[in-house]
Amino acid sequence: MNLCDFAPEYIRAINPYQPGKPISELAREMGLDEHSIIKLASNENPLGTSPLALEAMIQELHNVARYPDGSGFELKQALSKLYAVDTEQIILGNGSNDVLDLAARVFLKPGATAIYSQHAFAVYPLVTQTIGANGISVPARDYGHDLFAMLDAVTPETRMVFIASPNNPTGTLSDADELHRFMERVSRDVLVVLDEAYYEYLPATNQTDSISWLQQFPNLVITRTFSKVYGLAGVRIGFGLAHPDVANLMNRVRQPFNVSSIGLAGALAALQDTEFVQRSYALNRAGMLQLTDGFRKLGIEHIPSFGNFISFKVEGVATNTQKIYQSLLRQGVIVRPLGIYEMPHHLRVTIGLESENQKFLKSLEHALGELA
């Protein structure tokens, strides 16, 4: 026996989350110039960061000897005004992943269960297993959430349900009416976490005013992030909205100063830069059309997406998917394999700049030719 043997079995059994391959790593492995590589693997904003946010963060650098405002007062005030919620309903996190973890730490324990969909975000089973709780993966319907099958999976031991809309990595969107009926029918003893990390990429006709549901459903937590449309993935900041009692419990287990002063300053400024958000949305819509048209011309099947990414299928044996992935890497294009999501025939590509999308499609055509 050594020290690590005394760690709980459920901790030792965890498979760590594997992020998208960094540009610097691929450059080292392939001997490529970093500037020739495009990374379309992590659903980042190809426009970068809001200029207002950048300026605010640069100014905040002069204060980094001081601890940040642990309460996040100014950002909470801005979020309260924007979403018409009380500040007592807000939980700030080191990215929305942190908020998911806080919810699990509060409401799960060994022996409890959490429910999530097949092909859903890998962090849901991760935060569940970290607590020693049991995860139940409900088979997907058309690559998306089968909400009523998930409802049927609820047992007296169920304490949490994770729902992503849009879902990563498939890009599927849950029907608003079905989602509302789910909330009406699920037990109030079960916390429902609605992950809306990609909400800002939805067309207005597909946006659901889920935040207004918080008044009706005290067992609902909504998570959002500044990592995607706001372009702040590197400073790690997100937030959750919940009933005040739920938010209070989550804030009790939140680490002091879990959000940096740089992140707070950047997020506050990013909320004010609506022009940048609009440009990011428009670029994503145009890129979506560019890629889907390219897939059509190449005869590639893809999953219709409501996010800033598309998952596409590689025909034939699963090893073909790895061959396509490796060929793209050799050409300096990083995408995301989806084997860990039980999708061994799929790869996910982030929508990039027009030139990046063009390089990806050209590289994909070359990779497909190598298979022929």
* Alpha-carbon span 51 to 122, nearest angstrom: 32
**Amino acid present at 41:** A
Tell whether 147 and 177 lie within a shared domain: yes
Of 272, 296, 327, which residue constitutes the final position of a domain? 272
Mean pLDDT along residues 349-355:
99
Question: Is there a domain that residue 228 lies in?
Answer: yes
Place 371 in a pLDDT band, splitting at 50, 70 and 90.
confident
Tell whether 247 and 306 lie within a shared domain: no
Question: Is there a domain that residue 8 lies in?
Answer: no
Neighbours of 103 (CB within 10 A): 28
Residue-level pLDDT at 298: 96
Of 241, 263, 310, 199, which Cα lies nearest the Cα of 68? 263
Domain that holds residue 323: 19-48+275-371
- Which contacts qualify for 106-110: CB closer than 8 Å, 24 or more apart? 106/246, 106/249, 106/250, 106/252, 106/253, 107/159, 107/160, 107/191, 108/133, 108/159, 108/160, 109/133, 109/159, 110/10
Residue 287's domain is classified under what CATH number? 3.90.1150.10
Tell whether 248 and 314 lie within a shared domain: no
Candidate from 1-10, 52-61, 123-132, 238-247 with smallest mean pLDDT: 1-10
Place 49 in a pLDDT band, splitting at 50, 70 and 90.
very high
Place 318 in a pLDDT band, splitting at 50, 70 and 90.
confident
Question: Is there a domain that residue 9 lies in?
Answer: no
Tell whether 82 and 217 lie within a shared domain: yes
Place 39 in a pLDDT band, splitting at 50, 70 and 90.
very high
Residue position matching structure tokens 């409900």 = 138
pLDDT at residue 239 is higher than 90: yes
Of 224, 239, 272, which residue constitutes the final position of a domain? 272
Tell whether 104 and 221 lie within a shared domain: yes
Tell whether 127 and 220 lie within a shared domain: yes
Question: Is there a domain that residue 297 lies in?
Answer: yes
Q: Are 219 and 194 in contact (CB under 8 A)?
A: no
Residue-level pLDDT at 257: 96
Question: Is there a domain that residue 2 lies in?
Answer: no
Residue-level pLDDT at 19: 87
Mean pLDDT along residues 28-39:
95
* Alpha-carbon span 222 to 193, nearest angstrom: 6
Question: Is there a domain that residue 4 lies in?
Answer: no
Tell whether 227 and 302 lie within a shared domain: no
Tell whether 227 and 85 lie within a shared domain: yes
Helical segments of 304-353, H only: 318-330
Mean pLDDT along residues 122-138:
98
Average pLDDT of the chain is 97
Q: Please, what's the b/e burial string for 171-207 (b: 16 or more CB within 10 A of its CB; e: otherwise)?
A: bbbbeeeebbebbeebeeebbbbbbbbbbbbbeeeee
Of 239, 254, 272, which residue constitutes the final position of a domain? 272
Tell whether 175 and 314 lie within a shared domain: no
* Alpha-carbon span 53 to 81, nearest angstrom: 19
* Alpha-carbon span 61 to 55, nearest angstrom: 10
Residue-level pLDDT at 154: 99
pLDDT, one tens digit per residue, over 80-113 is: 999 999 999 999 999 999 999 999 999 999 999 9
Candidate from 75-79, 212-216, 301-305, 312-316 with smallest mean pLDDT: 312-316
Q: How many domains does the chain have?
A: 2
- Residue 190 DSSP one-character state: S
Mean pLDDT along residues 140-154:
98
Residue 153's domain is classified under what CATH number? 3.40.640.10
pLDDT at residue 317 is higher than 80: no
What percentage of the chain reaches a pLDDT higher than 90? 96
Tell whether 33 and 174 lie within a shared domain: no
Beta strands in the chain (DSSP E): 38-39, 90-93, 113-117, 134-138, 158-164, 191-195, 220-225, 238-242, 309-313, 333-334, 336-337, 346-350
Tell whether 70 and 139 lie within a shared domain: yes
Tell whether 58 and 41 lie within a shared domain: no
Mean pLDDT along residues 174-187:
98
